[in-house]
Amino acid sequence: MMVRSIESVAVIGAGTMGAGIAAASAAAGCRVLILDMNADTVEAALQQVDEGDRYLVTTGLVDADLDEVSGYDWVCEAIVEDLSVKRDLFSRLEKIRKDGSVISSNTSGIPLRQISEDMPPRFRSDVAITHFFNPVKVMRLFELVPGEDTDQEVISAFAEFGSSRLGKGVVHAKDTVNFIGNRIGCFFMLSGLHLAKPFLADGMSQETIDGVLGAPVGLPPTGLYGLIDLIGLDVMELVGKNLAANLPDADVGHEFTSFPATEQQMHDLGQLGRKAGGGFYRQSKTPEGERLKESFDLSTEEWREAQAPNLEGIPVELGEVVFHDSAEGELAWKIFGGTLKYAASLVPEIADDVLNIDNAIRWGFNWVHGPFEMLDHLGAGRVIDRIRAEESELPMMLQVLDQAGVESFYRNQGSEYLGTDGEYHPVESSVD
């Protein structure tokens, strides 16, 4: 078996993600090559590299300097999310890169099998998806996705480099739409937009919805609408279209791949979120010049002064709102509980085990607990009882737990996790 070592990195595409990967690689002490079609973009990417690391970085243009990638161990593509453009670039790179190098795409959703189709055997054995979360410097998650023909030593090299050199949390995902983090995280957001509508119609404010879907369930304070504002409705629309085209036919996510009418209108009018000056929320000023946070009321479709969330009577214990007999409790069960159920249905489709899913959601979306950790915290038996009371089908991993006659997905202080075989396995065996 060939031992692959990554000591140098060529990044093609100097946008936000490419610049972040280049800066992280330089900070790890690697020689770095940054290439792009646009000289200004390359210069902006260089400025993202810490000043003390810039001596490690060489820059250039794709049209003039692509041959330079032959001197690098890892060739990382981070260009536009267009399959034909990526395949054209990879065809050019494959003729240039050296033997023993590894090659990857930072795509956030294009399946590797589509990128690799009809490519040479060497490419198919040396390629993987290396998906970082934005901003690369801050976000810990690093999703590693092999293809059908990817050599194990290639995956091991990427995992070792990501963990030991870049300090990332490596999760092993399968070649499925949106991998792990965005498959589950975007289900939470897209389903939330739809499932929140009856609660808005009954008078619950979006601030209260965000309040319930924040700290009470172990999620960041952005909740639902604030998180979408951070990401952008334009990005979420593209995610929805990708899901619609690539989700398995029977996947419940098909119900939520398009926006409700009001959110679609917001998108079409350019009311996309923070980067566009406002989405569901915006910062403005009073006539006296004081800062004012405003909310776009989804019922009246007009801006108003933001309100404090009404969380009076909500249980303070983490997660207990899910079982609370109130409108807020029902909201939490339908949206957050629905996301937990969705995650439990995706093993082994998107990952081989619960551990990689939990790590992806904690590291990528900053949940206090991953979905299966949260099911343990709530009491998986209580969740099963609730699902059965609703006469709904148990998701895959809850079936496994129930049939195994056990009470939790983790045991022995988290050192063992429940596999799809109904047996417990050591945590260290799940990741490189």
The whole-number pLDDT of residue 431 equals: 42
The whole-number pLDDT of residue 109 equals: 85
Of residues 231, 230, 239, the one with CA closest to residue 259: 239
The whole-number pLDDT of residue 2 equals: 63
Q: What percent of the chain has pLDDT over 90?
A: 96
Q: Could you report the per-residue pLDDT of 340-393, keeping only the tens digit for each?
A: 999 999 999 999 999 999 999 999 999 999 999 999 999 999 999 999 999 999
The whole-number pLDDT of residue 188 equals: 99
Q: Which of 180-189, 327-336, 420-429 has the lowest mean pLDDT?
A: 420-429
Give the confidence band of 432 by pLDDT, cuts at 50, 70, 90.
Answer: very low
Is the Cβ–Cβ distance between 380 and 406 less than 8 Å?
A: no
CA end-to-end distance (rounded Å), the chain: 17
**Please, what sign has the CA dihedral across residues 312, 316, 321, 326?**
negative
Give the confidence band of 140 by pLDDT, cuts at 50, 70, 90.
Answer: very high
CA distance 327 to 312: 12
Q: What is the value of pTM for the model shown?
A: 0.95
Q: Could you report the per-residue pLDDT of 41-83, keeping only the tens digit for each?
A: 999 999 999 999 999 999 999 999 999 999 999 999 999 999 9
pLDDT, averaged across the chain? 96
CA distances to 82, 219, 289, 427 from 414, rounded to whole Å, are: 41, 21, 52, 8
Q: Could you report the per-residue pLDDT of 143-163, keeping only the tens digit for each?
A: 999 999 999 999 999 999 999
The whole-number pLDDT of residue 430 equals: 44
- Assess whether pLDDT exceeds 80 at residue 127: yes
Pairing label, strands 127-132, 281-285: unpaired
The whole-number pLDDT of residue 288 equals: 85
Query: Which tokens is 293 given?
Result: 């946070």
- Amino acid (one-letter) located at 58: T
- Assess whether pLDDT exceeds 80 at residue 120: yes
Query: Which tokens is 298 given?
Result: 């989804």
The whole-number pLDDT of residue 285 equals: 85
Q: Which domains does the chain have, with CATH numbers?
A: 8-172 (3.40.50.720), 181-305 (1.10.1040.10), 337-429 (1.10.1040)
3-state secondary structure the chain: CCCCCCCEEEEECCCHHHHHHHHHHHHCCCEEEEEECCHHHHHHHHHHCCHHHHHHEEEEEHHHHHHHHHHCCEEEECCCCCHHHHHHHHHHHHCCCCCCCEEEECCCCCCHHHHHCCCCHHHHHHEEEEEECCCCCCCCEEEEEECCCCCHHHHHHHHHHHHHHCCCEEEECCCCCCCCHHHHHHHHHHHHHHHCHHHHHCCCCHHHHHHHCCHHHCCCCCCCHHHHHHHCHHHHHHHHHHHHHHCCCCCHHHHHCCCCHHHHHHHHCCCCEHHHCECCEEEEECCCCCEEEEEEECCCCEEEECCCCCCCCCCCCCCHHHHCCCHHHHHHHHHHHHHHHHHHCCCCCCCCCHHHHHHHHHHHHCCCCCHHHHHHHHCHHHHHHHHHHCCCCCCHHHHHHHHHCCCCCEECCCCEEECCCCCEEEHHHCCC
> How does 310-327 read in b/e, with b if 16+ C-beta sit within 10 Å?
ebeebbeeebbbbbbeee
CA distance 11 to 20: 10
- Assess whether pLDDT exceeds 90 at residue 246: yes
